[in-house]
Structure 1
């Protein structure tokens, strides 16, 4: 019988439910691989008959514990990731067989070295640019990762296994993108807060068929509601695009606050949103090259140069009829902070309002952020 953490009884009901769900999965013989980033090729994990699960990283709760080993001036996402692992308070880390990291930034890369002392952590070496050599290197990393899972679990992963998982993941990407594109409807029938929290919740469901079913059902509900209650009406609420760092840990004081101030958050250029969904894996290419091409083309700020992101933000402004852009930067995330220079230029050249908020997971700046968001909305003539 698998053990639960010693402090299990002190967790809230949602956390306890997560532990029990993952405990049952493991007791039924399931394999679990923990991940942190959208650059990790989920198709290969799925082909190993393992469930890829997103690991907890969006709360200030474990940061004090993490700072015993990590610098205080590190990105809150990195500290929370390590803190949850260190304190055994993330059910998905606790029951993961293997953790998969990636070299998206120096802070994460070095943190993964320390995390490896807690549980085996395999790190994929991601190139930070896009050319033929980078594609070749990343394709090699795909093969190495497949071989690592084969060795770790004592199994053989066939190309047919991976092809089937590519098919399923492409279906899921289409379904999630359709859900996110509900934001194109005007007036907006769904809050940006719901869009974001729904996607986060999906990332903790190990069964891809259940994820697809849930998101299709919710999309149909929202479309029906729009037809009956929104279609043909006009709205004076400003339409906002969110870009920048992962926003799960700061969603309440940014996205929710914006909507409570009278705006509609309708579009997301974010890691768990359209950024990863816009390109599918090409089933016509050799499988490892196809995976490498798709995952190398995610327009994250760790890529240099990263003009694809700027072009996509410009397209989203047009397609979603955006009035203003909020860029969220987590403290000490240098790549997004520097790239905000170009994002601001892109937004202003489109004649739209722009604001950049740099923050962490604490609540100490809630009042200041609210004041700045109010002033931002006053710049929008709607």
Structure 2
């Protein structure tokens, strides 16, 4: 295998948004279909089986937020406001390429935003149960997944067969396993990869058009990282404090949070959020008697804070703290994201119970508080 220039490889992965728009345009030129999604509950295996490519419509640009307040309240999550304004203003290169947009009824803000977007684009809304402690929750979600299959078949004149679903599930499982192998590199002491580089690669999971190519590239990258590590190359100081990040999506706050941690003798070894480890561990039994039921069950088991009670997130956090030998927990809360903000109390309690320092950071996509946040993170890292 030829040597890779890792800096160039990581840079390529850091240009995900630009690359995926170019890929999406090529897909449309070839006459293929694209579905826009927002959340980890969208069952990708079903879209794969329908031969529909996926693109994420979430925006992280601060400049979109003020203008969005013509239609949306000021005290609403920045991710929702930024995404909405990006789409309705025509600044989104993604929406015009989408043949359908799939939304799931997660938080209240997104649910109502979908109603507004429905005026612009064909929307399919999946009614997500708000908890898993009722036996009928899984039955309800399975019906929603089957309704999605029927909708796609009718709209695009395709047949989503059981055979094809098992095939696409197998392909996604193998890719998830490989992403899991990437995450294992952070379990090393010291880790073999920075948190920033790992996160940039994890972001790609919901933007991939060619799964086989992604698998081959990722496998090559992992092998090269291992090779250099075994040769004694250490990208991270062995005294760096090992941080677990939990909470809201990070894409819009990477610089002021992730970079600050890793510039202050820290390394993020694990991301417990919807762009991190949660969807990667969502392995589906491709050999089950009922593949659709298995897909539905595993997706509903994602421990998102919109679930109540949310035992699964707390159970996963406790497992991750032990697996990744974490020194501290930092929770990222986007302003007015009420589900995660309220649940922060439970995360803090869990961290205290297992003997770990905990810090919550509430922020938005602007740089107005970047100095304050950097000061807080630097002080937190210093006391570790």
Q: Same fold (TM over 0.5)?
A: yes
Alpha-carbon separation, structure 1, partners of 2:64 and 2:223:
38
- Contact map agreement 1:34 1:99 (CA 8 A) in 2: yes
Say if 2:152 is the partner of 1:149.
Answer: yes
Shift of residue 379, structure 1, vs aligned partner: 2.5
Distance 1:205 1:288, change over 3 A: closer
CA distance in 2, matches of 1:324, 1:88: 42
Give the length in aligned residue pairs.
Answer: 367
- Deviation track 1:313-353 (CA, whole Å, cap 9, x = no partner) reads 11211111110111001111111111111111111111111
The equivalences for 1:25-174 within 5 A come to 25-130=27-132, 131-174=134-177
> Which residue of the other structure, out of 216, 220, 240, is the alignment partner of 1:217?
220
Encode CA deviations 1:177-230: one digit per residue, 9 max, x unaligned: 111221101111211011111222453331111222222222112111211125
Matched with 2:293 is 289
Shift, 1:16, TM fit: 6.6
Contact 1:354 1:376 survives alignment (8 Å): no
In the other structure, the counterpart of 2:183 is 180
8 Å CA contact retained: 1:202, 1:211: no
Query: Which residue of structure 2 aligns with residue 237 of structure 1?
Result: 240
With over 3 angstroms needed to count, the CA separation of the structure-2 counterparts of 1:336 and 1:118, relative to structure 1, is same
Asked if the contact 2:248–2:332 (Cα under 8 Å) also holds between the matched residues in 1, the reply is yes
Matched residue of 1:99: which SS?
strand
Equivalences for 1:186-335 in 2 at 5 Å?
186-230=189-233, 235-283=238-286, 284-335=288-339
Pair 1:61–1:14, CA change in 2 (3 A): farther
Question: Which stretch has the larger CA shift, 217-226 or 264-273?
Answer: 217-226
The structure 2 residue matched to 1:363, chosen from 346, 364, 367, is 367
Distance change in 2, residues 1:139/1:14 (3 Å): closer
Residues 226-249 of structure 1 deviation map (CA, whole Å, 9 limit, x = unaligned): 111257x97111110010011111
Task: State which of 347, 360, 382 in structure 2 corresponds to 1:378.
Answer: 382
Distance in structure 2 (CA, Å) of the matches to 1:28 and 1:14? 21
Q: Secondary structure at the match of 1:327?
A: strand
How far is 1:14 from its partner?
8.4
Please say which of residues 234-243 and 362-371 is displaced more in the overlay: 234-243
Q: Which runs of 5+ in 1 are unaligned?
A: 1-12
Supply the distance in 2 between the matched residues of 1:363 and 1:222 (Cα, whole angstroms): 33
Partner of 2:354: 350
Tell me the CA shift for residue 151 of structure 1: 1.4
State the Cα deviation string for residues 143-180 of structure 1 (Å, max 9, x = none).
00001111111222211121111111111111111112
CA distance in 2, matches of 1:225, 1:58: 34
What do you get for the CA RMSD once the two structures are aligned? Answer: 1.8
User: Structure 1 residues 15 and 52, CA, compared in 2 at 3 Å: closer, same or farther?
Assistant: closer
Change (3 A) 1:285 1:91: farther
Which deviates more, 309-318 or 99-108? 309-318
Relative to 1, partners in 2 of residues 1:56 and 1:89: Cα closer, same or farther, differing over 3 Å?
Answer: farther
For 1:338 and 1:327, how far apart are their aligned partners in 2?
12
Assess if the C-alpha contact under 8 Å between 2:260 and 2:378 holds in 1: no
User: 2:320, 2:64 → 1: CA distance?
Assistant: 35
TM-superposed CA distance for 1:279, in Å, is: 3.1
State yes or no: 1:336 paired with 2:310: no
Quote the Cα distance in structure 2 between the aligned partners of 1:281 and 1:17.
Answer: 29
Counterpart-to-counterpart distance in 1, 2:32 and 2:237 = 50
Query: How far apart are 1:132 and its partner, in Å?
Result: 1.8
Relative to structure 2, which stretch is displaced further, 273-282 or 37-46? 273-282
Report the 3-state secondary structure (helix = DSSP H, G, I; strand = E; otherwise coil) of the residue aligned with 2:147.
Answer: helix
SS in 1 for 2:179: helix
Unaligned runs of 5+ in 2: 1-14
TM-score, normalization by structure 1: 0.92
CA distance in 1, matches of 2:217, 2:92: 23
Q: Which moved more, 1:20-29 or 1:328-337?
A: 20-29
SS of equivalent residue, structure 1 residue 203: helix
Q: TM-score, normalised by structure 2?
A: 0.91
